[in-house]
């Protein structure tokens, strides 16, 4: 019996325009009535996810910022503060890479310096509660994730540099074609999902998860019913036991209805 469902957002639950499936709310209430817990697990920040799920926002559990923040029943249950020394080291490394924008993600909001219109358009898709700052010294907040917008394609441009430099000290993941995320070592969607399962006494065999990108791998490994979306790369598909239809074909909801 499935007791827990966790799903990524972009490229997975959301359609090609970034919207929830039309029958999501109906499906969600059916799950709630059966006592099945639902988690939105995303690289998106909590404030954006909360808006995404209106009008059921307060009933959703969120693994936000790739596992760096967890919100349950409207309350932050965990977050992982990054040390100032580590943040400084990442910022110094970023100064040597062209065509990237740094977003510091905090408990209050997110922060970035002025950037190109193209970069701003991409940032605004995911970060709705943010400040544009002139200097990082202006920030009075607890920072728990650093996101890098890399318009030069993250996998080939900045990620190899970051991976080599920080792989031993931080979790560094590609969370989209133009995104790289830094969190404290060991922090990811998979670890957050595992801790949630243990807290609520839900077994691996009772868990279903959906994902499409490399930041979903840990989460998929923590669910027996692990679905990779058809629109994912061939390299990603080896991480799931099952394949769901494309996000543009309502793949997540179809599989939920099939199994539950």
Instruction: Return averaged pLDDT per consecutive 10 residues of the chain, 260 residues in all.
Output: 97 96 97 98 96 96 96 93 97 95 97 97 96 97 98 93 96 93 96 97 98 96 98 97 98 97
Report d(CA 65, CA 121) in Å as an integer: 19
Supply the pLDDT for residue 236: 97
Q: Domains, the chain, ranges and CATH? A: 4-79+187-259 (3.40.50.1000), 84-184 (3.30.1240.10)
Q: Which residue has the tokens 């943010």?
A: 130
Supply the pLDDT for residue 2: 98
Report d(CA 225, CA 208) in Å as an integer: 4
Q: What is the pTM of this model?
A: 0.93
Supply the pLDDT for residue 221: 98
Q: Are 109 and 129 in contact (CB under 8 A)?
A: yes
Whole-angstrom CA distances from 91 to 45, 74, 86, 153, 179 are 20, 32, 9, 19, 15
Report d(CA 144, CA 131) in Å as an integer: 16
The single-letter DSSP state of residue 51 is H
Supply the pLDDT for residue 3: 98
Q: Residue 195 phi/psi, 5° resolution?
A: -65, -35
Supply the pLDDT for residue 253: 98
- 7 forms beta bridges with 40, 210
- 105 forms beta bridges with 110, 145
Mean pLDDT of all residues in the chain? 96
């Amino acid at each position: 019996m499935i007791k827990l469902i966790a799903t990524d957002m972009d490229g997975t639950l959301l359609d090609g325009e970034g919207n929830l499936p039309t029958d999501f709310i109906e499906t969600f209430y059916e799950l709630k009535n059966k006592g099945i817990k639902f988690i939105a697990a995303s690289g998106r920040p909590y404030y954006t996810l909360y808006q995404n799920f209106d009008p059921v926002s307060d009933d959703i559990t969120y693994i936000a910022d790739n596992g760096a923040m967890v919100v349950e029943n409207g309350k932050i249950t965990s977050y992982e503060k990054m040390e100032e020394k580590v943040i400084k080291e990442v910022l110094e490394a970023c100064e040597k890479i062209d065509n990237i924008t740094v977003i510091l993600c905090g408990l209050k909001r997110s922060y970035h310096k002025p950037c190109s219109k193209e970069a701003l358009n991409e940032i605004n898709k995911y970060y709705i509660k943010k400040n544009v700052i002139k200097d990082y010294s202006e920030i009075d907040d607890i920072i728990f994730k650093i996101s890098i917008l890399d318009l030069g394609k993250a996998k080939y441009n900045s990620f190899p540099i970051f991976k080599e430099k920080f792989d031993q000290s931080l979790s560094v993941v590609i969370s989209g074609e133009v995104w790289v995320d830094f969190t404290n070592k060991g922090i990811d969607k998979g670890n957050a999902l595992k801790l949630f399962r243990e807290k609520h006494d839900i077994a691996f065999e009772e868990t279903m998860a959906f994902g499409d990108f490399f930041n979903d791998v840990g989460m998929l490994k923590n669910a027996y019913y692990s679905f990779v979306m058809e629109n994912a790369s061939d390299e990603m598909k080896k991480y799931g036991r099952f394949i769901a239809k494309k996000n543009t074909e309502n793949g997540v909801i179809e599989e939920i209805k099939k199994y539950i």
